[in-house]
Structure 1
Amino acid sequence: MRSQFRFHNLSNKNMSFADVYHHIETFMKQNPQAQYRLMIGTDSQVHRKFTRFVTGIVIRREGHGVWACLKKHEVKRRIEHLHEKVSTETLLTEEVAQLFTAKRKQKLLQIIMPYIDEGSSFTFEGHLDVGKGQRNKTKIYVEEMMARLKVYGMKARVKPDSFVASSYANRYTK
């Protein structure tokens, strides 16, 4: 199923994960001396007869641009229980994170390795649409969801630092 994932952005439609990985690799090779953050996050929106989930992949060259794409997934029912919704968002982020195998991450690291002494870096982050704030209804799920992403070697981020889920993916759930 995962090999069937299709991604798109404003410039490219119907990309396979191999296409996405190639774009990320090419983006990093353009400036291997930079600091990179590879971020994955999912958000959802409950509609009248279905729930739409959108997972975003963003490679950010700190201070010098981004390349991003997304994948949509719909469940043909309203998911209204908050834990189920947040857990499904995390699951979809995990599924995409698994596509970045150790071998693939190692290839990306090799691009920047010669420039580590000059400040080059690479982080792999999972962005969760949950927050620790007192008024945030998802605060009781933060530790559980963060632990799930850490299993994949990801640095787990929550609101307000989880912009791939809470901003980029959110924009496309409507």
Structure 2
Amino acid sequence: MIFESPSKGRLTFEQMFADLLQYLSQAPNDRYKLIIGTDSHTRHDTVLVTAVVIHHLGKGGRYYFHKSHRRAIKSLRQKIFYETSTSLAVAARLTNLLDESGFIDFDVEIHIDVGHQGETKDLIREIVGMVTGSGYHAAIKPHSFGASKVADKYTK
């Protein structure tokens, strides 16, 4: 799985994680939040982008993104569930590595591209339940910038 970083270029998952750890080590006593969000855009196929954002609370942050293509997903419900499950898979992999690196109980948030406005409002309860049932905090629009801003920027 290849990630891209505006400041570091193309990185493997392992290189991205090492860079994330290096970023955390610069101010180890400060507060951070790990945000994972996925968005997609369908034309001929579906472009899926997963963003990993490390937010240094009150001091900015850094992000990485992974872009992939798959057959077109026509159903909005299926698309939202696929985006969320992709974010959860990346979050699980990262939290396991963080635990192994000594970052226990790290604040992790899954940003979901659903909100009270528009067609996705009927999916909120199910999708948020899926995320919280997996042990993560969930953020929806307008607070889900990891999906609706960062990942969305690279879907087109």
TM over 0.5: yes
SS for the counterpart of 1:160 is coil
Q: How does 1:69-148 map to 2 (within 5 A)?
A: 69-77=64-72, 79-102=73-96, 104-105=98-99, 107=101, 109=103, 122-131=106-115, 133=116, 135-148=117-130
- 1:94 Cα shift? 1.4
Within 2, Cα distance between the matches of 1:101 and 1:35? 16
Q: How high is the TM-score relative to the length of structure 1?
A: 0.82
SS for the counterpart of 2:11 is coil
Q: Which runs of 5+ in 2 are unaligned?
A: none
Task: Identify the residue that residue 114 of structure 1 maps to in structure 2.
Answer: none
Q: CA RMSD in A?
A: 1.8
Q: Which runs of 5+ in 1 are unaligned?
A: 111-120
Deviations 1:95-141 (A, max 9, x none): 2112124452363526xxxxxxxxxx94110000001x2x3211111
Aligned length: 156
Q: How high is the TM-score relative to the length of structure 2?
A: 0.91
Task: Identify the residue that residue 44 of structure 1 maps to in structure 2.
Answer: 40
Flag the structure with larger Rg: 1
Establish whether residue 162 from structure 1 lines up as the match of residue 144 from structure 2.
yes
Within 2, Cα distance between the matches of 1:105 and 1:40? 17
Within 1, Cα distance between the matches of 2:17 and 2:96? 13
Question: What is the aligned-residue identity percentage?
Answer: 31
Residue type of the alignment partner of 1:25: L
Deviations 1:12-33 (A, max 9, x none): 3432221111111111110122
SS for the counterpart of 1:60 is strand
- 1:59 Cα shift? 0.3
Is contact 1:40-1:126 (8 Å) kept? yes
